[in-house]
């Protein structure tokens, strides 16, 4: 682990007033605008954003975050220009190949949430291998949302529950919040305590709609490639100072 991570983690842990969220979600937004501001193609912004993703993910793991869910590619992102989508697919392939080699010693469990059947057979195989090779690790769970949309997830969960009712496995009167939660991609995981959106946009963008019912949101005026570990610390401090009542007094 680099000296930077060691220094930062000590700083966070020295502050006894900080309450770490158990589960953080991040909408990695602003790559295209970051590139445009610098006269670069949008694909360059995604490249820098991917590099920053590695930094932030490792930092979260180092300071003791248990679950991290990052929004990498939404079901709506297929509507982007073909060359941008192709560049993103190439970038995903590059990341997964690196995850199987350079990051094999990181104690991070990697999971993919979303409909990955839409990707090429080569990318699907890399996704399978990455999950398989990391599943016995004991550290932070990293959910990478690819071809993910929360409405799509809820439709999938509804169909699954309906099929269980149809087959007689589940009684309709037994359907409750737990049944729905356990039918989602994040089944068995705690709901996110904190969702961070860099780029200054005030939208949830179809991300973890069910899971974020009582999530604290922090909007930051930084485009994702510029988002730093200091910014993450600040978001955690803001979260730590919130009074979470979950509908109570």
At 1, is the pLDDT very low, low, confident or very high (cuts 50, 70, 90)? very low
| Average pLDDT score, the chain | 90
Residue 5 has pLDDT above 80, yes or no: no
Whether pTM > 0.85 for this model: the answer is yes
Q: Is the pLDDT of residue 132 over 90?
A: yes
Is 249 domain-assigned? Answer: no
Q: Is residue 92 part of a domain?
A: yes
For residue 106, give the DSSP letter. Answer: S
Question: Span 169-180, mean pLDDT?
Answer: 97
CA distance 155 to 21: 28
For residue 188, give the 3-state DSSP assignment. Answer: coil
- pLDDT band for 15, please (50, 70, 90 cuts): low
What integer pLDDT is reported at residue 3 of this predicted model?
A: 34
Give yes or no: 77 in active site. yes
pLDDT of residue 7: 42
Residue 68 lies in a domain: yes
Percent of the chain past pLDDT 70, that is, above it, reads: 91
What is the DSSP track for 122-186?
HHHHHHHHHHHHHTT--S-EEEEEEEE-HHHHHHHHHHHHHHHHHTTSS-GGG--HHHHHTTSTT
Domain that holds residue 28: 20-240
Identify the active-site residue in 6, 52, 62, 77: 77
Which pLDDT score, from 0 to 100, does residue 17 have?
77
Confidence tier at 97 by pLDDT (50, 70, 90) = confident
Q: Is residue 152 part of a domain?
A: yes
The 3-state DSSP class for residue 196 equals strand
pLDDT surpassing 60 at residue 4: no
Tokens of 32: 């295209």
* Inter-CA distances, 162 with 68, 87, 114, 145, 212, Å: 30, 38, 20, 24, 23
Express each pLDDT in 137-167 by its tens digit.
Answer: 999 999 999 999 999 999 999 999 999 999 9
Question: Measured on CA atoms in the order 145, 146, 151, 154, is the torsion positive or negative?
Answer: negative
Let me know if residue 118 belongs to a domain.
yes
Does residue 5 sit within a domain?
Answer: no
pLDDT confidence of residue 124: 95
CA distance 30 to 148: 18
Residue 181 reports pLDDT greater than 80: yes
Q: How confident is the model at residue 94 (pLDDT cuts 50, 70, 90)?
A: confident
Is 17 a residue of the active site? no
What pLDDT, on the 0 to 100 scale, is given for residue 101? 72
What is the three-class DSSP state of 231? helix
The answer to whether 186 touches 113, Cβ cutoff 8 Å, is yes
144 domain residue, yes or no:
yes
- E-strand ranges in the chain read 23-27, 67-74, 109-113, 141-148, 194-198, 216-220
Summarised one tens digit per residue, pLDDT across range 103-126 is 677 899 999 999 999 999 999 999
- Terminal-residue alpha carbon distance, the chain: 43
6, 15, 17, 29: the catalytic one is 29
The CATH number assigned to the domain holding 106 equals: 3.40.1180.10
Measuring CA to CA, which residue among 222, 229, 180 is closest to residue 65? 229
* Number of domains composing the chain: 1
Category of 89 on φ-ψ map: left (φ > 0), alpha (ψ -120 to 50) or beta: alpha
For residue 246, being part of any structural domain is answered with no
């Amino acid at each position: 682990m680099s000296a930077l991570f060691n220094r930062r983690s000590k700083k966070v842990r020295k502050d006894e007033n900080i309450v770490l969220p158990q589960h953080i979600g991040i909408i990695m937004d602003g790559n295209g605008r970051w590139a445009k501001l610098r006269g670069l193609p949008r694909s360059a912004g995604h490249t820098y954003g991917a590099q920053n993703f590695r930094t932030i993910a490792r930092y979260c793991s180092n300071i003791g975050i248990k679950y991290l869910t990052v929004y990498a590619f939404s079901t709506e992102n297929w509507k982007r220009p073909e060359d941008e989508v192709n560049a993103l697919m190439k970038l995903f392939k590059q990341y997964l190949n690196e995850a199987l080699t350079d990051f094999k010693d990181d104690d991070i469990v990697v999971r993919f949430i979303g409909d990955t059947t839409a990707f090429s057979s080569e990318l699907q195989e890399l996704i399978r291998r990455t999950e398989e090779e990391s599943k016995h690790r004991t550290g932070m769970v990293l959910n990478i949302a690819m071809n993910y949309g929360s409405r799509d997830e809820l439709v999938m969960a509804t169909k699954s529950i309906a099929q269980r009712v149809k087959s007689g496995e589940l009684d309709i009167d037994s359907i409750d919040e737990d049944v729905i939660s356990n039918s989602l991609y994040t089944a068995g995981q705690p709901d996110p305590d904190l969702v961070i959106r860099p780029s200054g946009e005030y939208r949830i963008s179809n991300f973890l709609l069910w899971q974020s019912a009582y999530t604290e949101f922090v909007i930051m005026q930084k485009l994702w490639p510029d988002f730093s570990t200091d910014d993450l610390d600040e978001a955690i401090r803001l979260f730590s100072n919130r009074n979470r009542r979950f509908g109570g007094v």
